[in-house]
Amino acid sequence: MNFELTVLGTGSATPTLNRNPSAYLLTVDNEYFLIDCGEGTQFRLLEQKIRHTRLRHIFISHLHGDHYFGLIGFISSLNLNRRTEDLTIIAPRGLAEILTIQLKHSETILHFKINFIETNPDKEELILDHPLLTVETIPLHHRIACCGFLFKQKQPKRNIIKENLPENFPIPYILQLKEGNDVFDELTEKTYKVNDYTTEPPPAKSFAYCSDTAYNELKISQLQGVDTVFHEATFTETELARAIKTNHSTAKQAAMIAQKSNAKQLIIGHYSSRYDDLTFHLLEAQEVFANTHLAIEGQVYKI
Amino acid sequence: MNFELTVLGTGSATPTLNRNPSAYLLTVDNEYFLIDCGEGTQFRLLEQKIRHTRLRHIFISHLHGDHYFGLIGFISSLNLNRRTEDLTIIAPRGLAEILTIQLKHSETILHFKINFIETNPDKEELILDHPLLTVETIPLHHRIACCGFLFKQKQPKRNIIKENLPENFPIPYILQLKEGNDVFDELTEKTYKVNDYTTEPPPAKSFAYCSDTAYNELKISQLQGVDTVFHEATFTETELARAIKTNHSTAKQAAMIAQKSNAKQLIIGHYSSRYDDLTFHLLEAQEVFANTHLAIEGQVYKI
pTM flag (> 0.90): yes
Identify the closest residue of chain B to A102 by CA–CA distance. Answer: B98
Q: Which of B17, B63, B107 sits opposite A105 (nearest CB)?
A: B63
**Dihedral Cα A70, B12, B247, B100, nearest 10 deg:** 30
Closest residue to B40, CB basis, from A13, A40, A95: A40
Residues of B in contact with A70 (CB under 8 A): 39
CB contact under 8 A, B14 and A47: no
The full DSSP string for A245-300 is: HHT--BHHHHHHHHHHTT-SEEEEE-B-TT-S--HHHHHHHHHH-SSEEE--TT-E
B17 inside 8 A of chain A by CB: yes
* CB-based contact, A298 to chain B, within 8 Å: no
Residues B257, B223: contact at Cβ < 8 Å? yes
- Can you point out the beta strands (E) in chain B? 3-9, 23-28, 31-37, 55-59, 87-91, 114-118, 126-129, 133-139, 147-153, 159-160, 183-185, 190-192, 198-199, 206-210, 228-232, 265-269, 292-294, 300-302
Q: State phi, psi for B92 to the nearest 5 degrees.
A: -65, 160
Tell me the C-alpha distance between A230 and A127, whole Å.
19
| CB atoms A69 and B73 under 8 Å | yes
| Cβ separation A17–B46 shorter than 8 A | yes
pLDDT tens for chain B, 303 residues long, are 689 999 999 999 999 999 999 999 999 999 999 999 999 999 999 999 998 889 999 999 999 999 999 999 999 999 999 999 999 999 999 999 999 999 999 999 999 999 999 999 999 999 999 999 999 999 999 999 999 999 999 998 999 999 999 888 999 999 999 999 999 998 889 999 999 999 999 899 999 999 999 999 999 999 999 999 999 999 999 999 999 999 999 999 999 999 999 999 999 999 999 999 999 999 999 999 999 999 999 999 999
> Which of the residues A36, A75, A76 would you substitute to probe the B interface, choosing the one with the greatest number of B C-beta atoms within 10 Å?
A76
**Cβ contacts from A onto B, under 8 A:** 94
Q: Is A277 a catalytic residue?
A: no
Find which of B22, B49, B69, B100 to mutate to test the A interface (most A CBs within 10 Å of its CB): B69
Q: Per-residue pLDDT tens for A146-200?
A: 999 999 999 989 999 999 998 889 999 999 999 999 999 988 899 999 999 999 9
Calculate how close chain B gets to A9, using CA atoms only, in Å: 13
Hey, are the CB atoms on A14 and B81 less than 8 Å from each other? yes
The interface residues of chain A toward chain B in range 90-109, judged by CB-CB distance below 8 A, are: 92, 94-95, 97-98, 101-102, 104-107
CB of B116 less than 8 A from some CB of A: no
**Phi (first) and psi of residue B166, to 5 degrees:** -65, 160
- CA–CA separation, A159 and A146 (whole Å): 39
Do the Cβ atoms of A148 and A211 come closer than 8 Å? yes
What gap in Å lies between CA B13 and CA B174, rounded to an integer? 50
**What digits encode the pLDDT tens for the residues A106-159?**
999 999 999 999 999 999 999 999 999 999 999 999 999 999 999 999 998 999
pLDDT tens by residue, A274-299: 999 999 999 999 999 999 999 999 99
Instruction: Return d(Cα A265, Cα A302) in angstroms, integer.
Output: 10
Residue A13, chain B, CB below 8 Å: the answer is yes
Out of A61-70, A244-253, B179-188, B209-218, pick the least confident: B179-188
Round to the nearest angstrom and report the end-to-end CA distance of chain A: 12
Interface probe for A, chosen from B106, B109, B234 (most Cβ of A below 10 Å), is: B106
A17 and B47 within 8 Å at the Cβ level: the answer is yes
**CA–CA distance, B9 with B20 (Å, rounded to integer):** 4
CB pair distance less than 8 Å for A106 and B46: no
Active-site annotation holder among B66, B86, B185, B227: B66
* ipTM for this prediction: 0.92
3-class secondary structure, B258:
helix
Q: β-pairing, B3-9 with B300-302? A: antiparallel
List chain B residues with CB under 8 Å of A102. Answer: 63, 65, 98
